[in-house]
């Protein structure tokens, strides 16, 4: 990075200029203000992704710019009235800089500013003895340990300004006796506190000689290590997240600045370190890989350090209806779709007329809308890999889409009672249909373990589901009674006084339990199924729930009604209504 100014002949003014070298090419950025004769004269970049530049604002005041690339923010460091601009700059750490002013003072004064916690402070000293005209360079180990270059007159010794804990002071420098004039023009310091300033001395006999002067400054003597924590490997655009940084050993003082090195955006600045930890609450940036840097500023005792971690930002998961279908919504099935390495939630909703509404990341793979149906559609079931789905008609008609395979149906049979539910075998090579009288119909490799056919039921069966461990199944009646066939019995709501009848049933993915749902949205959990809430608990009246389905991991569930309203509980992500 380089800083300077560009002269605009149309306005006759200078404009601050930043040049950035990347992949062998320079690119410039002109910075505001555009209406004053402003210029930058020095720049310091302690880490990739953050720089500070200083100069003058064209109105006899100082100008500072913080940023990287094309993103810069200006500030006006305070200076004594007789100092017009900042000419030199050294940043030993992020958000930790010292700048000295162009000599425009009377007597032996010069000006300086210190940047910390995002704020510039006037740290100009009072009068110092000797001939002092700093303004060529400054080198710092910390914001309280610096040496500034200076001019000197016809003397065999001069005083160089140095900065310590107590502020600016002078350090005597001896010169050859024949020196008539000269200046120190540049300075650099090692981490151990050894500094060298270089310049020119002019002998009285004429000519000029290069010269070098060494200084020893107090140096921070406690090394630190900074690590970035709390960086998830994959996030979505705009997602809220908090980065943490640990500094070891825990320092007394100093702060941490968090930077997106990929974009040069400063995410958080001046975050105080408490018990060795600092944090930054922010949001994920644009799609792509982002290197997040945590920069500890250091202080007079602790050495600055930096740590980084990489986060990948993916496109946001889709939400809302992505494919619309007409008709009365009736049943829902949940899914998760891999979008660029990120699991995005979604669900399918089937309508009574056979249309499939896709919400969130759920993919539309066709539906039965437009067909002449012998009976309304009353259910939807996903294949085990979620690459397809089945639609179920009340007459037992089965319609397949995606990788769902047709193994038969009761569409052409004469049934004693309508079909009310469907369950797919764990390997997807068969399915069961259940009728309201408890009759079970098996297709493909689905085994028959018994039915309630021929048994007089107190209330009709409303749903069934399968046990993936035993390939058995459960059925539930509208009074909450549960019937198990070669599947563990975990309990029922048959003896529970129900405000409204049970309408649906959903198994746990681990087959260790199941849930029932009533028309009023009341949820009843059994086995290892956890209760995460219900509609009566939310004071929702007359929701008219038609069915339910578990989230993919079973730690949540969805309820739906005939108006297409979806309620999500637990970790089931809500991505829209039908």
pLDDT tens-digit series, residues 532-564 = 999 999 999 999 999 999 999 999 999 999 999
Q: pLDDT tens digits, residue range 23-61?
A: 899 999 999 876 688 999 999 999 888 999 999 988 888
Residue 536 has φ and ψ, to the nearest 5°, of -60, -35
* Separation CA 60–CA 100 (nearest Å): 15
Write out 530-555 in H/E/C secondary structure: CCCCCCHHHCCCCCCEEEEEECCCCC
Average pLDDT over residues 192-201: 91
Check residue 558 and give its pLDDT: 98
Check residue 460 and give its pLDDT: 97
Check residue 109 and give its pLDDT: 66
User: Per-residue confidence at 260, pLDDT binned at 50, 70, 90?
Assistant: very high
Q: Quick check: 130 pLDDT over 60?
A: no
Average pLDDT over residues 442-448: 97
Check residue 404 and give its pLDDT: 97
Average pLDDT over residues 16-27: 93
In terms of pLDDT, which residue wins out, 480 or 132?
Answer: 480
Q: Rg for the chain (alpha carbons), in Å? A: 37
Q: Quick check: 180 pLDDT over 90?
A: no
Q: Quick check: 355 pLDDT over 60?
A: yes
Average pLDDT over residues 507-528: 96
Q: Quick check: 132 pLDDT over 70?
A: no
Check residue 111 and give its pLDDT: 84
Q: Quick check: 420 pLDDT over 90?
A: yes
Considering 165-179, 208-222, 403-417, the range whose residues carry the highest mean pLDDT is: 403-417
Check residue 70 and give its pLDDT: 81
Q: pLDDT tens digits, residue range 203-248?
A: 888 889 999 999 998 888 899 999 999 888 888 888 899 999 999 9
DSSP 113-177: EEEETTEEEE------SS-----S-EEEEETTEEEE--EE-S-SEEEEEEEETTEEEEEEEE--T
Check residue 354 and give its pLDDT: 98
Q: How far is CA 38 from CA 13, 28, 76, 78, 520, in A?
A: 8, 16, 12, 16, 70
User: Per-residue confidence at 126, pLDDT binned at 50, 70, 90?
Assistant: confident
Check residue 101 and give its pLDDT: 83
* Separation CA 168–CA 127 (nearest Å): 10
The mean pLDDT value of the chain amounts to: 91
Q: Quick check: 496 pLDDT over 60?
A: yes
Closest CA to 291 of 68, 117, 95, 116: 68
Check residue 306 and give its pLDDT: 94
Model confidence pTM above 0.75: no
Average pLDDT over residues 310-331: 94
Closest CA to 160 of 191, 180, 136, 190: 136
Average pLDDT over residues 293-304: 89
Q: Quick check: 103 pLDDT over 80?
A: no
Q: How far is CA 282 from CA 9, 47, 207, 561, in A?
A: 43, 20, 59, 37
Please report, rounded to a whole number, the percentage of residues in the chain having pLDDT higher than 70: 96
Check residue 149 and give its pLDDT: 86
Average pLDDT over residues 459-469: 95
- Which residues are bridge partners to 320 per DSSP? none
Closest CA to 421 of 549, 541, 234: 549
Average pLDDT over residues 466-482: 95
Q: Quick check: 528 pLDDT over 70?
A: yes
Q: How far is CA 223 from CA 220, 279, 305, 379, in A?
A: 8, 21, 8, 65
């Amino acid at each position: 990075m380089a800083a300077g100014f560009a002269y605009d002949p149309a306005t006759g003014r200078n404009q601050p200029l930043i040049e950035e070298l990347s992949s062998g090419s320079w690119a410039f950025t002109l910075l505001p203000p555009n209406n004053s004769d402003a210029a930058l004269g020095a720049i310091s970049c302690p880490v990739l992704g953050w720089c500070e530049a200083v100069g003058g604002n064209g109105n006899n005041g100082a100008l500072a710019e913080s940023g990287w690339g094309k993103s810069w923010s200006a500030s006006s460091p305070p200076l004594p009235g007789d100092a017009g601009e900042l000419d030199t700059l050294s940043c030993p750490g992020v958000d930790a800089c010292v700048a000295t002013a162009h000599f425009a003072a009377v007597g032996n004064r010069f000006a300086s500013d210190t940047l910390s916690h995002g704020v510039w402070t006037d740290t100009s000293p009072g009068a110092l003895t000797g001939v002092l005209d700093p303004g060529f360079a400054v080198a710092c180990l910390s914001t309280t340990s610096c040496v500034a270059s200076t001019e000197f007159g016809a003397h065999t010794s001069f005083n160089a300004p140095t900065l310590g804990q107590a502020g600016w002071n002078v350090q005597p420098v001896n010169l050859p006796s024949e020196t008539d004039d000269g200046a120190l023009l540049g300075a650099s310091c090692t981490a151990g506190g050894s500094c060298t300033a270089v310049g020119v001395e002019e002998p009285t006999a004429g000519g000029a000689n290069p010269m070098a002067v060494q200084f020893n400054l107090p140096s921070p003597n406690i090394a630190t290590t900074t690590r970035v924590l709390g960086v998830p490997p994959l996030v979505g655009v705009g997602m809220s997240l908090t980065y943490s940084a640990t500094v070891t050993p825990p320092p007394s003082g100093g702060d941490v600045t968090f930077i997106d090195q990929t974009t040069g955006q400063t995410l958080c600045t001046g975050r105080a370190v408490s018990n060795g930890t600092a944090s930054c609450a922010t949001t994920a940036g644009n799609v792509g890989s982002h290197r997040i840097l945590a920069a500890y500023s250091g202080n007079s005792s602790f050495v600055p350090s930096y740590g980084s971690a990489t986060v990948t930002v993916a496109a946001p998961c889709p939400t809302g209806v992505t494919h619309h279908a007409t008709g009365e919504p009736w049943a829902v099935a949940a899914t998760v779709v891999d979008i660029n390495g990120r699991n995005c939630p979604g669900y399918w909703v089937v309508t009574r007329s056979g249309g499939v509404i896709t919400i969130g990341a759920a993919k539309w793979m066709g539906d039965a809308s437009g067909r002449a149906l012998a009976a309304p559609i009353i259910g939807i079931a996903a294949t085990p890999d979620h690459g397809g789905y089945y639609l179920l008609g009340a007459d037992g008609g089965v319609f397949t889409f995606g990788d769902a395979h047709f193994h038969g149906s009761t569409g052409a049979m004469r049934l004693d009672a309508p079909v009310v539910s469907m369950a797919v075998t764990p390997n997807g090579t068969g399915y069961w249909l259940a009728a309201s009288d408890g009759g079970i119909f098996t297709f493909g490799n689905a085994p028959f373990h018994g039915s309630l056919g021929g048994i007089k039921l107190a209330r009709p069966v409303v749903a069934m589901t399968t046990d993936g461990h035993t390939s058995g199944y459960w059925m539930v009646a509208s009074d909450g009674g549960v019937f198990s066939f070669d599947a563990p019995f975990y309990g029922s709501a048959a003896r529970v006084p129900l405000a409204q009848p049970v309408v649906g049933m959903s198994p746990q993915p681990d087959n260790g339990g199941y849930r029932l749902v009533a028309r009023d949205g009341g949820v009843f959990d059994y086995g290892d199924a956890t209760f995460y809430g219900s509609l009566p608990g939310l004071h929702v009246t007359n929701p008219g729930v038609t069915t339910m389905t578990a989230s993919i991991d079973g730690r949540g569930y969805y309820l739906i009604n005939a108006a297409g309203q979806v309620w999500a509980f637990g970790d089931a992500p809500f991505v829209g209504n039908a």
